[in-house]
Chains A and B, each alone.
Chain A
Amino acid sequence: MRGVEVIIEAKGLAQGYGRKLVFSGLRLSLGVGTVGLLGPNGAGKTTLLRTLATIIPPRQGTLRIDGRMIRRAAEVREARRRIGYLPQHFAYFPGFTVYEFVRYCAWLREVPEATAHEETERAIAAVNLTAQSGRKLRSLSGGMLRRCGIAQAIVGRPRVVLLDEPTVGLDPEQRLEFREIVRSLTDATVVLSTHLVEDVAAVCDRVLVMQGGEIRFDGTPDELAGLARPGARGDSPLERGYTTVLSNRVAA
């Protein structure tokens, strides 16, 4: 279900690397809820997430996070307090314990000192790692590490949570756990970039399909499934809708 309040708003957004333009003129308006970002490799999903995470400034256009325009370094810093980001490659310090790492990330996000401990424990509990709180990260399984990555992204309850391919490398059970965690993030705008259509079907209430730097589809999973043409490739209505969008370049 889409939230009424707009948390992420982008207008005329352009981004690229060197001379290559990845996307331009991109418009985006996201409220509270979970948004799946689908698209083939090279569609611009990760670039969009990196732009929303304020890692790279847009070449053109405007970006608002939680109602605040992002233009200058001070505004970026302010916005970053409201953004949780789990990149495709989750970097961590193997010698830190789960608690220490998440607590350190809370400090990095400038979560107020008075609530940082409580927020850390809450984030760790949210990803079901309380029992492993004192364990060093180097001793965790891949699934636990991913959960820890999510914990660092949600500590301090940021308004925006950006998850880039968070289920890569997880076994089916771990993916189910992950879905439960994402479902529990009810107060934030969660943008979930993935190749896995079934993850989107399971946890997202809105889907964006990107291709060639453009948003080809913006709607609910049911609406995407409804676009499926007979004979389209895919094992589920949603997959068939997705491949239909990619093959037909259906406008959003």
Chain B
Amino acid sequence: MIRAFWIELRRSPLRWALPVLIAIELGMLFGRNTDWIGVWPQASAAAQVPVAEMAILLSAAAAWSAARVQRADGIEQWSAVARPLWQREAVHLAATVVYGLIPLLVGAIAAAVVSVGTAGPGFLWPSYLLLGATVVIIAAALGHLAGRLTQSWLVPLLIGAGVYLGLLWFASSDTFSFSVLSGAPQVEITTPALLTRLALAVALVVAAVGFQPPSRSSWTEHRYRATVLPSLLVLLTIVGVMTAGPLRQGREPPDEPLCSDRVPQVCIWPEHRRHLAELTAIAERLEAVAASRLFVIPESFHEEGLRTPEDGATFPVTLGLWAAARGMAYGVLNASFGDESLCAPATAAGEEQQQEALTEMLEWLVARAWGGMRPADYHGGFDYDEEELRRVLRLPDDEQFEWARERITTAYEATCGA
């Protein structure tokens, strides 16, 4: 069996696809943002992200490879051998799966290598890697099954596109998604969701290797079992996936989050330890605006998930440090001008005036916290005059504070002075 497996491995057409698969994995891993480096759950999820794209090529190549007997017009020849069909197909499919898992493994190793120096205790989260492996197995099994069903040259194209579109389609579903885009430490893959997806992958493998092509032979008395039972198994596991609940759920916050020893204090999930120094610096830059006596700086900033916003200022880290700075600036704004101090404007014009003033102030606070303008790779938020903000940021602190005081006055005037 081992020897046959090695032959399959050596002669699989997927060996030609392997460099491309690895390039996809590493290209997507390092070609997008690299904020995941040094954060174990993020690195784990990042290694898994390219699997959806790899699945296109993997399923297509699996279909091509699985159709080799039909392509060689060898169904009859191969039906006269002693080795049971499922064993032949299992060895063949195993080689295909290995070629799908190698890029994932390479990506995981690369993610671990670049993270190990900064991530601190812990390691890659197996659940994300298992999720990626599950998608690899599903894609390979679907491709293999499709290739065995028909040898049309269109099948690899169709199955590749179908698998990708399916993954995209299900990605928007909370209960039926098979991939994640990032691995915030606040959430984790649930065991039932992972197990049911693995069960689905196994069921598809059983279907892919057990399928009996139509033939006249009645020696194979178990054909109905080989076709009907795997189909039922696949259906059952699909129901299992749909009833297993969301793919991920929130994690219990740690008893002792990782906190800075400065004021204001910054507390984060331990997995985000590599960001603590930068986040502390952001908080300290915000603290500097306290000199204006215009703002209330919270005593502590907590990363999302460690406490609720009602309990105090929270900020996200998963979306990047600029987003974290923005979250902290929100915290300052809320602490300074929360609902209790700002009334609802009486008119639409007043509301617009207040909103504009608050937006300008927020963006100024964010820029102060961040130490500059918004990075080019961050998008969204409210519209504001960036040139004006650049001009203000070049002013001495006391003039900036005076500028901020004017915005505050405008906000209050809009609220209560109308």
Contact = CB atoms under 8 A, between A and B. Distances in A.
Interface of A: 17, 50, 53-57, 72-73, 76-78, 80-81, 83, 85, 87, 89-93, 95-96, 100, 103-105, 107-110, 113, 116-117
Contacts of B348: none
B307 interface: no
Given A93-B68, A113-B3, A116-B3, A54 B76 contact: no
B232 interface: no
Contact of B80 (A55, A78, A103): A55
Given A96-B11, A100-B11, A77 B72 contact: no
B81 interface: yes
B81 A73 contact: no
A52 B69 CA distance: 22
Interface stretch (B150-158, B211-219, B283-291, B330-338): B211-219
B33 to A, nearest CB: 40
A50 B78 CA distance: 12
A71 B50 CA distance: 51
B84 A54 contact: no
Closest 5 CB pairs of A and B: A91-B74, A80-B82, A108-B81, A91-B72, A107-B4
Given A87-B76, A91-B74, A57 B84 contact: no
B82 A57 contact: no
B239 interface: no
26 contacts: A53-B80, A55-B80, A57-B218, A57-B219, A72-B221, A76-B219, A77-B84, A80-B80, A80-B81, A81-B82, A83-B80, A87-B77, A89-B73, A89-B74, A90-B77, A91-B72, A91-B77, A91-B78, A95-B11, A100-B10, A103-B3, A103-B7, A104-B4, A108-B88, A109-B82, A116-B3
A61 B221 CA distance: 19
Contacts of A113: 1, 3
Interface of B: 1, 3-4, 7, 10-11, 13, 68-69, 72-74, 76-84, 88, 216-222
B118 to A, nearest CB: 45
A17 B220 CA distance: 18
A178 B372 CA distance: 83
Given A80-B80, A91-B72, A109-B82, A55 B217 contact: yes
Contact of B83 (A85, A100, A103, A109): A109
Contacts of A93: 11, 68, 72
Nearest to B12: A95
